[in-house]
């Protein structure tokens, strides 16, 4: 069974061509993708359908939204951690998901943290080596 099918089954989501295709694209591209990028990778599918597919995936917990960008980006969820670390390279623009460290948060009295979104902006290894 394909990896895509296995994922859909794991999260209890109906298998359709669009959905299998979206997962394949995510598996192929290792960085976080915008809706537009997905459209570009699978032009035979409708924009709205991809949009709704992402919604369904998001609700089911298959993917994560990257916070920190004007246009939304998504990537397959790696683990169930509450800490989400993404790295945005200013040179190539790619957003990669990294393993999140423990964050020593010192929130003021009364504040309750549910999710921690970390976006680190800088230069990725590919781009820093090129110089």
Partner DNA sequence: GATATATTTGCAACGTCGTTGCATAAGACA
Partner DNA sequence: TGTCTTATGCAACGACGTTGCAAATATATC
Q: What is the DSSP string of 39-80?
A: HHH-TTS-HHHHHHHHHHHHHHTSEEEEPS-SS-EEEE----
Which partner from the list DNA, a copy of itself, none does 37 bind, CB cut-off 5 to 8 Å by kind?
none
For 84, list phi and psi in degrees, rounded to 5. -120, 115
Using the contact rule CB under 8 A, the part of the chain among 10-18, 33-41, 73-81, 123-131 near a copy of itself is 123-131
What is the C-alpha to C-alpha distance for residues 101 and 31, in angstroms, rounded to an integer?
19
Which partner from the list DNA, a copy of itself, none does 129 bind, CB cut-off 5 to 8 Å by kind?
a copy of itself
Nearest distance in Å: CB 27, DNA? 17
Using the contact rule CB under 8 A, the part of the chain among 1-9, 12-20, 39-47, 112-120 near a copy of itself is 112-120
Judged by CB under 8 A, the chain residues 24 through 83 that form the site for a copy of itself are 67-70, 72
Contacts with DNA, residue ranges (CB under 7 A): 13-19, 34-36, 45-49, 51-53, 55-56, 70-72
Nearest distance in Å: CB 40, DNA? 10
Q: How far apart are the first and last CA of the chain?
A: 43
3-state secondary structure 8-50: HHHCCCCCCHHHHHHHHHHHHCCCCEEHHHHHHHCCCCCHHHH
Complex with a copy of itself: residue 49 or 123, whichever CB lies closer: 123
């Amino acid at each position: 069974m394909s990896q895509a099918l296995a994922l859909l089954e794991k999260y209890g989501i109906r298998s359709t061509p669009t959905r299998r295709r979206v997962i394949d694209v995510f598996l192929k591209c290792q960085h976080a993708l915008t809706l537009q990028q997905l459209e570009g990778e699978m032009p035979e599918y409708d924009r709205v359908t991809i949009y709704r597919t992402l919604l369904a995936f998001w609700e089911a917990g298959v993917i994560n939204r990257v916070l920190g960008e004007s246009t939304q980006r998504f990537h397959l969820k790696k683990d169930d951690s509450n800490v989400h670390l993404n790295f945005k390279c200013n040179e190539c623009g790619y957003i990669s998901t990294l393993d999140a460290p423990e964050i020593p948060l010192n929130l003021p009295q009364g504040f309750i943290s549910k999710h921690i979104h970390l976006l680190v902006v800088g230069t990725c290894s590919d781009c820093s080596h090129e110089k």
